Amino acid sequence: MINGKRVAVVMPAYNAAKTLEMTVRELSDLVDVKILVDDSSKDQTATLSKQLGVVTFIHDKNYGYGRNQQTCYREALAAGADIVVMVHPDYQYTPSLVPAMAGMIASGVYDMVLASRILGGGALRGGMPVYKYVANRFLTAFQNLFLGVKLSEYHTGFRAFSRELLEALPILENSDDFVFDNQMIAQAVMFGFKIGEISCPTKYFEEASSINFKRSVEYGLGVISTTAGFVGHKLGLHRQRRYEASGRKVSEQPYYSELPNHP
């Protein structure tokens, strides 16, 4: 716990067996519960996760990164978490920053904290491909302009949330794909939640998950579409349930199960 707040780490996973143990071993003892959701991996991710003492859920098929996060947050809230930190189990981000990020939420100052690869200038040093860095900077400047905030980047997969934010945002209205991350930030801005950032080193290596050029282009187009939808909704030109308080919140769904303990 941090400041009396129960902390959960959630790990959306797909074929992460090679890096999962490194990630879990580096998590702080301040974490109260560790949850992994396996999006129907083809390797031994789920089995290894259970062996490492992580509460493990398995999707009955590959639904995508966004749907994986929905399950992560649903189960973290069900486990009584006050603060939820998402850590990718591919070891691209250092889990040692979890207490710092959770502390920023526990202080009551922020509702969402993003671990930025851009602050501190470590992205390129960590091996981020140049085309991804350039796209990151362009899309970030574009969204800062139209969302009316000033973040160093919108595209990190290492983030922390308050329980209040996760219960309020209609995240079931978001994409099942990678643009889910971006849509959550846009929703947080629309609903008036406070967003903070912390500098985070990054590592690009063979085992770390990274989308290819084609998928990167699709993601970039999704970011532009998300931004256009945000502006249209705010101006009353095109209402979207994603930005409505009546949109679907986290709820039970029958497409996954918890991996039982083995004797």
The band of 129, judged by pLDDT with boundaries at 50, 70 and 90, is confident
Is residue 261, in this structure, part of any structural domain at all? no
Is residue 138, in this structure, part of any structural domain at all? yes
Is residue 255, in this structure, part of any structural domain at all? no
Q: What share of the chain is helix, strand, coil (3-state, %, to 5)?
A: 40, 15, 45
The 10s digit of each residue's pLDDT in 207-223 is 655 678 888 999 999 99
The 10s digit of each residue's pLDDT in 35-55 is 999 999 999 999 999 999 999
Could you say which DSSP state residue 114 is in? E
Q: Is there a contact between 186 and 121 (Cβ–Cβ < 8 Å)?
A: no
Q: Which of 232, 131, 236, 139 is nearest to 179 (CA)?
A: 139
Is residue 73, in this structure, part of any structural domain at all? yes
The structural domain count of the chain equals 1
The 10s digit of each residue's pLDDT in 130-160 is 988 999 999 999 999 999 999 999 999 999 9
SS3 140: helix
CATH code, 199? 3.90.550.10
Is residue 256, in this structure, part of any structural domain at all? no
Half-sphere exposure of 90 (CA within 13 A, CB side): 18
Is residue 55, in this structure, part of any structural domain at all? yes
The band of 260, judged by pLDDT with boundaries at 50, 70 and 90, is confident
Range of the domain at 18: 7-248
Taking the C-alpha atoms of residue 12 and residue 186, their distance in angstroms, rounded to an integer, is 21
Number of H helices, E strands in the chain: 8, 8
Q: Is there a contact between 154 and 230 (Cβ–Cβ < 8 Å)?
A: no
Is residue 253, in this structure, part of any structural domain at all? no
**Token code pair at residue 57:** 């859920």
Is residue 259, in this structure, part of any structural domain at all? no
The 10s digit of each residue's pLDDT in 58-102 is 999 999 999 999 999 999 999 999 999 999 999 999 999 999 999
**Token code pair at residue 59:** 């999707």
